[in-house]
Chain A
Amino acid sequence: MAQDEKDPVATWPARENLKVLNHDLVRVDARAKVTGAARYTHDVRVPGMAYARLLLAPLPALKIKKLDLAPALKIPGVLGAVALETDRTRWLGEPIAAVAATTPERAEDGLRAILLEYEREPWAIDEAQATAPNAPKVRSNAPKVSTDGDQASAERACEGAAAVIEATYTVPVQHHVCLETHGVVVDYKGGDEATVWCSTQSTFGFTPDAAKELGLKASRVTGLVEYMGGGFGAKFGLGLEGQAACKLSKEIKRPVHLMMTRRDEFLAAGNRTGGKMRIKLAASQDGTLVGMVADRRRFGGIGNGSMAKFPYIYAVENAYSETLSVPMNLDSNRAMRAPGHPQAGFGMESALDELAYKLGVDPLEMRKRNLKDKVYHRQLERVAREIGWYEHPHRDKPGDPKAEKCIGIGFGVAVWGGGGGGGTECEVRIERDGSVSAAVGTQDLGTGSRTYVAAITAEELGLRLEDVTAHIGSTRLPSATGSGGSTTTGSLAPAVKVAAFNAARAFAARLAPVFGVDAARVQFAGGEVRDTQGAKPALSWKQACAMLPAEGLSARGEWTKDANKRLAASGIHGAQAARVEVDTQTGRVRVLDMIAMQDCGLPLNRLAVVSQVNGGMVQALSYALHEERNVDAALGVMLNSTMEGYKIAGSLEMPRMVTIIDDEDERGVIGVAEATCIPGHSAIANAVFNACGARVRDLPLTPDKVLFALGKVV
């Protein structure tokens, strides 16, 4: 290492010099996933394993009079049962007991044999019940109204404005619908050690609790998350289901496989907050937003719910909002991809859009006028151009609903913080045979983290992606933070980069004498090692590695504030446009095109970024057109806890999707997941209005609501 120079530090090369990163990389585990070779928690089978099922509260509020597990134990094949709640249940689907058996079917039979006697207690599972004068007290700590801004000045600003709209917008409860349901496999047979597989978005987040449940030291419990089938925010920690599995395993001294059923998943695995927003929004003649008064309700079940603050993204001179959680005897909301943002976005984008048409101002121009950050301007203009807005025949008024099929275009924007934080460490190993691995305990939710752990290392060492193996998803590997809030990339990438950089420097120092030069002159590129200035022939990577001792070489790197400053950033935007066809006779909304432009700093894997953005658009489209939880408040049941009743968009609903990565963003890496699902549904709803003048203020935009908005339902 050069003593007379300032110590070099890890930085990203100029983008044009990148050989692996910022390219389209097919994810390293694609084949394993497509062929089924990838082993998810659901697929884990260990010798002697029992299968477990959960007994969930059949009604929203119960006083348990009797819970007798003995009849379950008499069912052939049942190995054990545990009680989870013996007094009262406060929400529909709250786990009461769990049964383990030799097969999932026998466990199910065991559940049905359990004797449960209860008294119904008053419940509230919809807004009407929860806000009735005699509404039951759902929680002991009643939520209070929170306020933002000054009410008097906001009201005044609205009064004097050129145009005002006042309307109520509602969003349904949406479910995560992860392909793999929640669950764990606890490999414990007694003794003082255990291994626990968990479908989670935080490898290191569940083992301490599992150890506690099993009565073991955390250091004797290994957590594994080699592959997992989606989380979207719902899969942090051991969870009630994981606790139940540990209890059962401890009880029967056998490994236990407990994956929630799809129905369990709908009832007891979290959801996106539903809500209602009464909005008064005012603008001056030129479309500048001058006043906003909003009254908001969050429906987060037994939880608080979440809804991003108003005014959302757009600047409003005088804004005031009141927000109140309305607790209900239903499963709590959990984080779900951009928690609180798609809801707030729908209210804000719809109200702004209504105001634009009322003023006769082009809704695209109206948006730009109220967005101070110029990044939004370039992104909106680009998606507008791509979707054909500037040639669109009716931009400041809707199309004629007398036509059988109407075409419309709408817009929406996004915001997200992201960024990274401490707690992630990576080890890069170079073996004497030339193979390389990068090890970090992080998880891959399907975002492609496994691939970029290998890609960053390959880039640094001048290798190809396939030359590096990424080891992830185990608590036996160096620590990593959980995946939430689009922070994985900002936390993980710098740690990997620094580790690879340190490995390269250490290797260079060892090879410097071979070339007879300073380590700083030793370069790794194109699968070779060479002196950047000398005439000596290059060594192939394998030749160079053969000079290593038997134990090879390893180096570590961790996330630091300093590395973060050089390698990562935070704060992204995003604009999306949707083009729809509305069938005015049937109310069918067909989304024809969706265009997204998204900034994300340095794209580690362009293909994965595009895939993320496409996924965000699909999730928003499904939220726009189909998804909603239906309950019958009188009966106290969820009506559509199946994949038939809870509709998600399928292949025939898919539009043409175009994702444009905003390459003008020259910053370091930034996670991109959340922002991508914020604007889509608003753009679709606005496009429906632009098409035919049907303003649907209540998601999803099902045919009944569109026909009603068109005045066709008498």
Chain B
Amino acid sequence: MKAFILSNPKSVKDALQLLAVARDSKQAKAIQPLAGGQDLLTEMKEHLAEPDRLVNLKGIAELDYLRNLDGKVQIGALATLARMEKNNLLNEHARVLFEAAHSIASPQIRSVGTIGGNLNQRPRCLYYRLEEANCLKKGGKECFAYSGMNRYNAILGGGPSYIVHPSDLAPALIALDATVFIAGRTGPREMPLESYYKLPSVGDVRTETVREPDELLLSVSFQLPAPGTRSTYLKFKERESYDFALASVALVLGFDGDVIRHARLVLGGVAPVPWRVRAAEAALVGQKADTQTAEKAAELALAGAVPLSGNAFKIPLTKSLIVRAIRSLA
């Protein structure tokens, strides 16, 4: 990897001051924040990222927390995945997030990987990860997956890039109506996590979020679901031991008796962003979580899918996962 300077700020304020140089678009790639490093360091080793300076956030104690404030769960950017998968509150009241955290990578990676890093990780597309392939995501002219090997790529929301967003936490958190808190050039701002991600057709194709290079994601928060809410994260990997999702389903259902009163359905591994399907959610509300309803929701969720040459299998696969997830909460 290219040599770099490591800065170790002790506060968010100091970190943001360091990152401010990235406001100059020429410097945007020259400085990057570092948390668990499980993605960024591999990108640097592969020369996909070559920053001159890393702003190490690990020394900022104020970013490391997971707390419940009167029913509002707040998670600091530095909270590790391991911390989330061991948390009783999440286990009991937000299974979708608990299960998503547990499904990620390996115990070793979960012990250092953070929620902030997970939400901001870069694509796993084989072309993107190969230094020699100067693809659209790296400033090239072509998405090689479109005409090349695309078994793992997008069936929804693709074009001009066909990456899938690799985060497991993002679909789960969006299903919990989570918001993110960001600070940087324009001062602190809060937005729904769903709006944090952007399709490749919007803005700069090389980025996956609306975060500016001088901004930091500081925390994520969501209201604990109301009593009667059940949730799950169903992730399907090509290989069970250590893999990213071929497709995943984050599902939150609020019940009144056995009738669904509230529904959030967000897909992972199938689109360049966590793919929330409102039509399917609407079809669930007012119904029982039976097979017929589940199949209808699955059809609606995949209605707009446009497969590439090698990933049509993701359509029946994802439908099956949706049906299973819904049935499992009945």
Q: Which residues of A contact B (CB under 8 A)?
A: 58, 105, 112, 585-588, 625-626, 630, 632, 634-635, 637, 639-640, 642, 644-645, 647, 649-653, 702-704, 707-708, 712-714
Contacts and interface: CB of A to CB of B under 8 A. Distances in A.
Given A703-B246, A704-B151, A649 B324 contact: no
B241 A653 contact: yes
Interface stretch (B88-96, B127-135, B176-184): B127-135
B243 A647 contact: yes
Contacts of B4: none
B149 A653 contact: no
Contacts of B240: 650, 652-653
Nearest to B318: A586
Given A707-B313, A707-B316, A713-B316, A635 B132 contact: yes
Given A707-B317, A713-B312, A630 B126 contact: yes
Nearest to A630: B149
Contacts of A626: 238-239
Contact of B126 (A645, A651, A703, A713): A645
A647 B239 contact: yes
Interface string B308-328: 001111011100110110000
B313 A703 contact: yes
B133 A649 contact: no
B236 interface: yes
A644 B244 CA distance: 9
Contacts of A630: 126, 149
Contacts of A647: 238-239, 243
Contacts of B239: 625-626, 647, 649-650, 652-653
B148 A703 contact: no
Contacts of A640: 126
A632 B238 contact: no
A588 B317 CA distance: 10
Q: Is the interface of A mostly helix, strand, loop or mixed?
A: loop
A639 B148 CA distance: 10
A587 B241 contact: no
B311 A704 contact: yes
Contact of A708 (B129, B313, B323): B313
B290 to A, nearest CB: 16
B144 interface: yes
B148 A634 contact: yes
In the A-B complex, the 9 residue pairs with the closest CB atoms: A650-B241, A585-B320, A704-B313, A652-B240, A652-B241, A639-B126, A712-B316, A707-B313, A632-B148
Interface centre among B130, B246, B312 (most CB of A within 10 A): B130
A708 B307 CA distance: 14
Contacts of A713: 312-313, 315-316
23 contacts: A585-B323, A587-B317, A625-B239, A632-B127, A632-B149, A634-B147, A634-B148, A635-B144, A639-B127, A639-B130, A640-B126, A650-B240, A652-B239, A652-B241, A653-B239, A653-B241, A702-B238, A703-B236, A704-B151, A704-B311, A712-B313, A713-B316, A714-B312
Given A634-B147, A640-B126, A649-B239, 15 more contacts: A112-B47, A585-B320, A585-B324, A626-B238, A630-B126, A632-B133, A637-B133, A639-B130, A642-B129, A644-B124, A647-B238, A650-B241, A652-B239, A703-B238, A713-B312
A651 B107 CA distance: 13
B236 A586 contact: yes
Interface residues on B, range: 20 to 34
Nearest to A631: B149
Nearest to B244: A644
Interface in B231-269: 236, 238-243, 246
A630 B317 CA distance: 22
Interface in B257-289: none
A651 B238 contact: no
Nearest to B147: A634
Interface of B: 1, 47, 124, 126-127, 129-130, 132-133, 144, 147-149, 151, 236, 238-243, 246, 310-313, 315-317, 320-321, 323-324
Contacts of A112: 47
Q: Is the interface of B mostly helix, strand, loop or mixed?
A: loop
A712 B307 CA distance: 14
B236 A649 contact: no
A58 B131 CA distance: 10
Contacts of B320: 585-586
A650 B240 CA distance: 8
A535 B269 CA distance: 81
A626 B241 CA distance: 11
A652 B238 CA distance: 12
Nearest to A648: B239
Interface centre among B47, B132, B324 (most CB of A within 10 A): B132
A637 B148 CA distance: 11
Nearest to B124: A644
A649 B241 CA distance: 7
A98 to B, nearest CB: 19
Contacts of B124: 644
A709 B129 CA distance: 31
Contact of B310 (A58, A642, A704, A714): A704
Contacts of B130: 637, 639
B304 to A, nearest CB: 16
Nearest to B307: A713
B241 A635 contact: no
A712 to B, nearest CB: 4
A642 B238 CA distance: 16
Contacts of B129: 642, 644-645
Nearest to B125: A639
Given A645-B126, A704-B310, A713-B313, A637 B238 contact: no
A386 B127 CA distance: 45
A632 B316 contact: no
A648 to B, nearest CB: 8
Contacts of A653: 239-241
Contacts of B316: 585, 707, 712-713
Nearest to B242: A650
Nearest to B321: A586
B144 A632 contact: yes
Nearest to A105: B1
B133 A635 contact: yes
Nearest to B316: A712
Contacts of A632: 127, 133, 144, 148-149
Contacts of B323: 585
A682 B246 CA distance: 25
B234 to A, nearest CB: 10
A644 B239 CA distance: 11
Nearest to A651: B241
Contacts of A703: 236, 238, 246, 313, 317
A650 B107 CA distance: 14
A640 B238 CA distance: 15
Contacts of A704: 151, 310-311, 313
Contacts of B238: 626, 647, 702-703
Nearest to B312: A713
Contacts of A642: 129
Contacts of A650: 239-242
B149 A639 contact: yes
A58 B133 CA distance: 11
Nearest to B313: A704
A239 to B, nearest CB: 24
A625 B241 CA distance: 13
B233 to A, nearest CB: 16
A644 B317 CA distance: 22
A192 to B, nearest CB: 40
A626 B320 CA distance: 22
Interface centre among B127, B133, B240 (most CB of A within 10 A): B240
A105 B41 CA distance: 14
Contacts of A586: 236, 317, 320-321
A714 B130 CA distance: 31
A385 B239 CA distance: 30
A586 B316 CA distance: 8
A586 B314 CA distance: 9
